[in-house]
Amino acid sequence: MLFPSRRDLLSETIYLLRKYGVRPKKKLSQNFIVSPRLLRRIVHEVSKEKPHVTLEIGSGLGTLTKYLAHVSKKVIAIEIDEKLVRISEEALRNYSNVEIIVGDFLEHYKSFREVDVIVSNVPYHISSKLLFTLSEMAFKKAVLTLQREFASRLFAKPGTQDYSRLTVMANVYFTIQKVFEVGPYAFYPPPKVSSTLITLTRKEYSLPVDPSFFDRIVRILFTSKNRVVESVLKNASSHGLIKFGFEEAKKLKSILRKRVRELTLGEIVEIAKVLHEANREIKP
């Protein structure tokens, strides 16, 4: 497939914005792709999956959407800005396999059921919510461009400042791979920060506890991530949030002396498993 030059992408973007009198909105993280290298890499990652259905979140002017349409049977795009939807519909009128929906992805995500691949140059202001949302959706692979600082939180190791509920929830469900770093000039207008292209693929194993219980335990733990695990669990138990007694303490032994932020993924799963057995009778 042929990709246009950066110059062509940039002039087409500026042309469309002028023609329709659109000023990119900062509060919607509107930074449009103008890098052929990034475009090619995203399309390559998507085409490897030979998707029937690709979902693009935040399709903007439709620059990327068009190329996704070449490598997917069907593309569904969701874009919150109605004006951009009208512009991209015009640009995509010859692509009969593209459907664009006007709306907020965070409100509509439950309606996307049969999706193979999810693609997004993620609107930065929804990065965190979007990632938690993806953990609830079924798909094979997600190809995401994220703000670099945000992406590094996904790769944070236990004990570091960046290690958080987000790190745990993302890594428990997904294998996360860094594809490459992207400078601000991959977008127009250039954002203040650099980005990282990553892929997420769902892990094969299944959690030994149900996801909503796991979510609840991770929330309880990471609300006090600098405290010692035992005191966090005792405190939660004294508030009636969980059952944590002598038996559970015995089973978790040495883990209890660690600080929450030092827990590995495996240890967090272990805590959830032990508490799940003890907490069957407590309603969420």
Contact residues for ligand SAH, defined by CB under 6 A: 28-33, 57-61, 63-64, 78-81, 84, 104-106, 121, 123, 126
Closest to ligand SAH by CB, 124 or 174: 124
Least distance to ligand SAH, CB of residue 124, Å: 8
Where are the alpha helices (H) located in 97-186, listed in sequence order? 105-108, 127-134, 148-154, 165-173
C-alpha distance from residue 232 to each of 188, 221, 244, 247 (Å): 46, 7, 10, 17
Least distance to ligand SAH, CB of residue 76, Å: 12
Distance between CA 215 and CA 132 in Å, rounded?
Answer: 10
Closest to ligand SAH by CB, 189 or 211: 189
Least distance to ligand SAH, CB of residue 265, Å: 29
Least distance to ligand SAH, CB of residue 203, Å: 26
Least distance to ligand SAH, CB of residue 142, Å: 14
Closest to ligand SAH by CB, 7 or 257: 7
Closest to ligand SAH by CB, 85 or 218: 85
3-state secondary structure of 176: strand
Place of tokens 């994220």: 146
3-state helix, strand, coil in the chain (%, to 5): 50, 20, 35
Dig out the tokens for 169 from the structure: 């929830």
Instruction: Give φ, ψ of 72 to 5 degrees.
Output: -130, 150
Using Cβ positions, the residue closest to ligand SAH within the complex turns out to be 58
Closest to ligand SAH by CB, 46 or 271: 46
